[in-house]
Amino acid sequence: MTTTTVDLFASALHLHPGGDVRAAGRQMAGSGSGAWQIATFHVETDADVHADHWEMHPEAEEAVCCLTGGVRLYFRPGSPGGAEDMVRLPAGTAVIIPRGRWHRLELDAPSDLMSVTVRSGTRMEKRTDSPGCR
């Protein structure tokens, strides 16, 4: 086996159930392989983290890691008109998002982020309560 480096800002790592790890393209939705995806992103604006959309992963929890910069992670309210719960992630911190929990991000500064989850079944919904969505 030849050992090579992987640019984590251009590719993702897919950890397969049998123990194989492969570099591959990033996927927003899963391939059905059951692989966990580790993906790293450099983000400059809220548009880069789809702040105007809610996201949910039904197959697994998700670890969102802030490597540099700072972000705010919001959880969708449990009832209409309810308040969003917010967790601030400064550089060097992470949060584990429960399986099936709707969430979104907003930036405090340009950031490097890492996401670890199973992408199968990932869903996104446009926010209807954001200023640009009214």
Domain boundaries, the chain: 12-133
According to the model, what pLDDT value does residue 133 have?
A: 41
pLDDT at 103: 97
Q: What is the pLDDT of residues 43-76, one digit of tens each?
A: 999 999 999 999 999 999 999 999 999 999 999 9
DSSP character string of the chain: -------TTT-EEEE-TTS-EEEE---SS--SS--EEEEEEEE-SGGGGTTTEEEE-SSS-EEEEEEEEEEEEEE--SSTTPPPEEEEEETTEEEEEPTT--EEEEEEEEEEEEEEEE-TT-EEEE-SSSGGG-
Q: Determine the pLDDT at residue 72.
A: 98
The answer on pLDDT for 29 being more than 80 is no
State in Å, rounded, how far the first CA of the chain is from the last one.
54
Q: Is the pTM of this model over 0.85?
A: yes
pLDDT in tens, 114-132: 999 998 889 999 998 654 4
Q: How far apart are CA 32 and CA 97, in angstroms?
A: 21
Q: What residues form DSSP beta bridges with 23?
A: 13
CATH, range 12-133: 2.60.120.10
